[in-house]
Amino acid sequence: MARLDLHTHSTCSDGTRPPEWVVQQAADNGVELIALTDHDTLAGVKAARGAARQTGIDLIAGVEISVSDPDLGELHVLGYFAPSAQLDELERQLTRYREERKSRARRTVKRLHALGMPVEYESVMDIAGRASIGRPHVARAMVEAGHVESVQEAFDRYLHNGGPAYVPRTLLSLSDSLDMIHRTGGFSSLAHPTRYDDPVGATQAFAAAGGRGLEIFYRNDTPDEIANGEQLAQRLGLVATVGSDFHGLHPSELGPGTVPMPEHQATRIMQILKDLSP
Ligand code: AMP
Ligand code: MN
Ligand code: MN
Ligand code: MN
């Protein structure tokens, strides 16, 4: 059984479930600790913390920041913060990137029109609500408009990085994202290393820039991938983290709190997160 899950999304970004639901589900799955890590926002932390208190589990305030590296492309960095951390300044700094997400969604809609798949910007906004808007919201609008059967089909055919409806947006650099996280007293981890074109290069660059953790236990990565991650982490002095990356977008997705991690590694990262100070 998993003791913790350090990577989940809610309706505050591109997840389909409210923060309270995600926390409750993780608690039902038996975890002691969960981090909410919405994209470019900490807006769900308060609600998640309330739910965690009610269910008797611990909540870590978290965020997932997309960064761009000239050699490695797009990487995702997770940040985790102490309960006493002052998150207002960080949230303010991320505003710019949430605004950028909106204008990018608008440009994506235009691209879809040009591709013969009209989707209204308003319907994307209706789906996103007040969330930090992302491609999954556009994908859901494409499903609603009948252009594709599923969110996954929208990504596979149109929205994936470099796809015909892919519109890039301005991202932070790796070192700026780490500065943001560490200045707030946070702990950083490189999200889903196995998903990058060059997992080893990405992890080396992350460690060289001062990053501290590596999401070795990710979704349904294979035992071989996990073994490679463990070796690499050991060599580079990175601490193992675990995440389901729950979004609630696909029926077959793993639920919050369902990715196992060996006991000694769980104990290590839980202690580090407990010792965080602002
Ligand atoms: P954005 O943050 O708007 O660039 O969108 C990225 C999000 O879209 C990721 O956090 C995932 O939730 C989702 N995503 C990205 N690539 C894919 C893919 N190939 N298949 C399914 N979902 C994806
Ligand atoms: Mn996402
Ligand atoms: Mn990610
Ligand atoms: Mn994620």
Residue whose CA is closest, atom 13 of ligand 1?
136
* Tens digits of residue pLDDT in 220-253: 999 999 999 999 999 999 999 999 999 999 989 9
* Tens digits of residue pLDDT in 76-122: 999 999 999 999 999 999 999 999 999 999 999 999 999 999 999 99
Side chain identity at residue 134, one-letter code:
G
Residue 1: its pLDDT value, please? 66
Alpha carbons 215 and 46: distance in angstroms, whole number? 25
Q: Is the dihedral of CA 65, 229, 29, 137 positive or negative?
A: positive
- Say what the pTM is: 0.98
Place of tokens 């490189």: 190
Residues touching ligand 1 (Cβ under 6 Å) are 14, 39, 66, 134-136, 152, 155, 160, 247
239 CA from centroid of ligand 2 (Å): 23
247 CA from centroid of ligand 4 (Å): 8
Residue 118: its pLDDT value, please? 97
- The number of the ligand 1 atom at minimal distance from the alpha carbon of 161 is 16
Alpha carbons 191 and 234: distance in angstroms, whole number? 17
Residue 277: its pLDDT value, please? 80
Query: How distant is the alpha carbon of residue 97 from its chain centre?
Result: 14
57 CA from centroid of ligand 1 (Å): 29
- The number of the ligand 1 atom at minimal distance from the alpha carbon of 247 is 12
Place of tokens 């982490």: 233
136 CA from centroid of ligand 1 (Å): 6
Alpha carbons 218 and 259: distance in angstroms, whole number? 7
Residue 77: its pLDDT value, please? 99
Instruction: Give the contacts of 109 (CB within 8 A, at least 6 positions apart).
Output: 119, 120, 121, 124, 138
Residue whose CA is closest, atom 15 of ligand 1?
160
- The number of the ligand 1 atom at minimal distance from the alpha carbon of 151 is 21
Positions in the chain short of pLDDT 50: none
